[in-house]
Amino acid sequence: MAGDVINLRQFRKRQARTEKEKQAEQNRVTFGRSKAEKTLTEALNKKAAKALDHGRIEQAGGETSVDRKKP
């Protein structure tokens, strides 16, 4: 009938630590990218934007077809 004696203060601290570690692991998965990965993504985005800009059609007035306001 005698069970293990548990110190509730230590139990709560241990439980809080494990919850905090689970949250930290989730954050590492969600937000954890190295600087190299971030710069690579930024460079690819810039390259794609530049390629998109090269495809724009210039109008006689200096406007692009996107800049014109629809009546």
Domains of the chain, residue spans: 8-54
57 touches 64 (CB < 8 A): yes
pLDDT at 49: 93
Question: What residues have CB less than 8 Å from 64, skipping those under 6 apart?
Answer: 56, 57, 58
29 touches 39 (CB < 8 A): no
One-letter amino acid at 39 equals T
Question: What residues have CB less than 8 Å from 68, skipping those under 6 apart?
Answer: 59
Mean pLDDT, consecutive 10-residue stretches, the chain (71 aa), reads 84 97 92 90 94 81 58 52
Q: What is the pTM of this model?
A: 0.45
